[in-house]
Amino acid sequence: MHASGRRQTPNPSTRSRQLAATRATAWVDGGSRGNPGEAGCGVVLDLADGRREEHSLFIGVATNNVAEYAALLAALERALALGVRDLAVRADSELLVRQMVGEYRVKARHLQPLWLRAQQLVRSLARFAISHVERGANRSADRLANRAIDSRSSSLPRPLGLP
């Protein structure tokens, strides 16, 4: 409400920007040097309103698969924090993608809590899709994962549920 008591009409460009920001594409990658070894992940979040965020996350000693799940969890948590309701994820880990869509069972006990946490976060979204991309198409996220390992630093908090 305006001070005069009249209802303010939102600026159409602001309104469309708010709506557009509810959709995003996340490019995720995790990696470890050694398996297990020093590990990190990278997240590129392209919001439909044109904004782009790039994040690195150092996770210490972990397996490559744990690092891949860490990247997914970090992307989900960040997207939800930004108010994203429709998220498309691109990952070069075939295992991660196939487990998330139910084509593969999560047999490794240490990955089960991470898969459960990811499924919980996905249920908070109105729409979610995940697809496999070739490694070359995921270069930005890979670069960020390597930066995390090299610098041993993070630009996002450690995802909940990560060991």
In a domain, 7, yes or no: no
Other CB atoms within a 10 A radius of the CB of residue 161 amount to: 17
Q: What are phi and psi of 138, to 5 degrees?
A: -115, 30
For 65: left if phi > 0, alpha if psi spans -120 to 50, otherwise beta; the answer is alpha
The SS3 assignment for 93 reads: coil
In a domain, 2, yes or no: no
pLDDT of the chain along its 163 residues, tens only? 444 444 444 444 444 445 557 999 999 999 999 999 999 999 999 999 999 999 999 999 999 999 999 999 999 999 999 999 999 999 999 999 999 999 999 999 999 999 999 999 999 999 999 999 999 999 999 999 999 999 999 999 999 999 8
Task: Find tokens 């397996």 and name the residue.
Answer: 63
How many domains does one find in the chain? 1
Question: Please, are residues 145 and 40 in contact by the beta-carbon 8 Å criterion?
Answer: yes
In a domain, 26, yes or no: yes
In a domain, 97, yes or no: yes
In a domain, 86, yes or no: yes
The SS3 assignment for 158 reads: coil
What was the pLDDT predicted at 20? 52
Q: Note the pLDDT tens digit of each residue in 54-83.
A: 999 999 999 999 999 999 999 999 999 999
Return the DSSP state at 90.
Answer: E
In a domain, 159, yes or no: no
What was the pLDDT predicted at 6? 46
In a domain, 3, yes or no: no
- Domain span holding position 105: 12-151
Task: Extract the runs of DSSP E, i.e. beta strands, from 78-123.
Answer: 86-91
Structure token pair of residue 10: 């939102």
Q: Looking at residue 113, which CATH number applies to its domain?
A: 3.30.420.10
What was the pLDDT predicted at 21? 75
* CA–CA dist 61, 53 (Å, integer): 25
In a domain, 20, yes or no: yes
